[in-house]
Structure 1
Amino acid sequence: MPETSKARPGGADTAKRALRVLDVVGRSEQPLMLEEVVRQTGFGRSMTYRLLRALQEEEFLEHAPGGGYSVGGRLYSLAAAVLPSFDTDNAYLPLLQTIAAESGETCTLHRRVGASVVLVLGAESTLHPLRRVWTPGELTPVVRGSAGTALLANLGQDELTAVLDTLPAEATSGVRERAAEARKLGYVLSFGANHPGVHGVATPVPGADLAVSVSGPGHRWTQERMTAFAPHLIELVHTFSRPAPRG
């Protein structure tokens, strides 16, 4: 009998749940017991146990000696295959520290991966007790926030179209115009786009799928301050990115 249900295939749902479990365990600083994974995912106990066992059998997770689940060898192997391209990002730390010191706000480096933005590196100013705290690995949509728009501004029209075509039409409304404006100005501002109350200014890194952003509490890091700092931000990033002349 032909299938009439419009529900998504069970396999797709199972894969999503498994990835959610993997994400929860992978982000924990210590092994997680079954009950804690259930609490954080909201999945049923028996389902969570089956997913943990499957991930353990495939070596993405392992059962820790003292109990609980932690990252397994296969996940480390996968990360090792990806990390070389990210390892070069560490070279930007002095730049981020300089910008954080001069702006008095948190400076972060973002990399585009498909239609997402990954926060890969950051430096916080110690000038203010209240500041934007950066989280390594934070994932946000490329169509939201100053860093995402700056990254899109760095793309050619064909690349930009290819990225936007992977997203729902409603998510891309006005994105081309914002990217064009960012390309023209060299920077882009955002106001609470990813974090309520946090404003940001970002500029693309020339010749790379990277963007540098400076963000802070909106009551202090105002539109006026961000706009005034933007030319210096662009200058610092471009000077740092420019290859050293050969002797």
Structure 2
Amino acid sequence: MTRSREATERAQPDLLHRPLRMLEALAGMQQPASLLAVASAVGLSKASAYRVLRSLQDEGYVDHVGRRGYRIGSRSIALASMVGPRPALRQRARPVLTRLAAAAQATATLHLRSGEHRVLVLGVEQNSEPLRHIVHVGERAPLTFGCSGRAILAHLPAHDAAKMITGHTRGRTRAALERELEAIRVNGYALSFSENHSHLNGIGVALLDPDDGYPLGSIAVAGPDDRLTDDALRRLAPPLTSACSGLAPHLATLLGPNSSARLDALDVTIQDFMETAAD
């Protein structure tokens, strides 16, 4: 194999990864987002980011809205509707979240993992207090941050978790975070106090694949810190754990690696997208 061919093959993965990283970063930003903001989020120069965004724009995955910047395009939304939480999952999860939210008079949310982050995909609010956790579907945060993320992180394979801890410690010492993750595995739940949202506390439990214990996501309950104190959160652990144990097998059937769920095709061709990104 020639050196030029070897260099080309080494560069190929990056050509494929850049558009995907760009889409994931843009989806987690307030939109429209400027070219400079998107470039900074993925660690590229403005020129390189523009070339990737232009390719995504030509294929309908990103929209350019003039001086205001870029936003997720209709083709990305169509793709998300196919590979994201499908109606069957929402039908299973919403009653579970509704019961938890009603019992705690708080907000219950379902989160799925997206790389080194967790993404809020479904939520139910059951109180009208001014200070409450308002659901923002698509909200994204590192797995090291907040109870919903750390509940997932604690159950990931050690080598995957170590990489994320190194990249997203947010001022924590690695040893302290590792001790907390061990406590989460022992107790079965994670707690957070005014981390993702000021004056809001929460408890999160992982949704584990019953076959291999892999974390598919998490459910969290959050509310005002004057009501959901440390003791109040811990009292929510048994019903939350029970709810996760009941939902996890259904989630694994729909989203797990051995899922047999049928996917209906949309006008989205991933192979075309990957080939375009590599050109």
TM-score scaled by structure 1? 0.69
* Identical-residue share of aligned pairs (%): 28
SS at match of 1:193: coil
Q: How far did residue 117 of structure 1 move?
A: 0.8
Cα displacement (A) at 1:233? 1.8
Shift of 1:130: 3.0
Query: What is the identity, as a one-letter code, of the residue corresponding to 1:107?
Result: A
Q: Deviations over 1:21-41 (max 9, x none)?
A: 98379965xxx6xxx858987
Kept after mapping to 1: 8 A contact 2:35/2:70: no
CA contact (8 A) 2:207 2:247 kept: no
Does 1:23 find its partner at 2:26? yes
> 2:197 matched to 1:195?
yes
The alpha-carbon distance between structure 1 residues 109 and 37, as it changes in their structure 2 partners (threshold 3 A), is same
**Deviation at residue 123 of structure 1 after TM alignment:** 0.4
Q: Which residue of 2 aligns with 1:126?
A: 127
Partner in structure 2 of residue 223 of structure 1? 230
Sort the Cα spacing of 1:162 and 1:94 in 2 relative to 1 into closer, same or farther, 3 A. Answer: same
Residues 102 and 23 from structure 1, CA distance in 2 versus in 1: closer, same or farther, beyond 3 angstroms? same
SS in 2 for 1:133: coil
Contact 1:107 1:214 in 2 (8 A): yes
Q: Cα 1:111–1:72, aligned 2, differ >3 Å: closer, same or farther?
A: closer
The CA deviation at 1:55 is 4.3
- SS of the residue corresponding to residue 208 of structure 2 reads coil
Cα distance per residue 1:49-106 (max 9 Å; x no partner): 9887554334223478xxx9765354245424522xx225412110000000000010
**Aligned position for 2:144:** 143
Q: Displacement, 1:185?
A: 1.0
Alpha-carbon separation, structure 1, partners of 2:24 and 2:180: 36
Tell me the residue number matched to 1:95.
Answer: 96
Change (3 A) 1:98 1:77: closer
Q: CA RMSD in A?
A: 3.8
For residues 112 and 27 of structure 2, the distance between their equivalents in structure 1, rounded to whole angstroms, comes to 22
Calculate the TM-score normalised by the size of structure 2.
0.62
Structure 2 counterpart of 1:175: 177
Return the letter of the residue paired with 2:179: E
- Residue segments in structure 1 that go unaligned for 5+ positions in a row: 1-10
Aligned length: 215
For structure 2, list consecutive stretches of 5 or more residues without a partner in the other structure: 1-13, 41-45, 210-214, 251-279
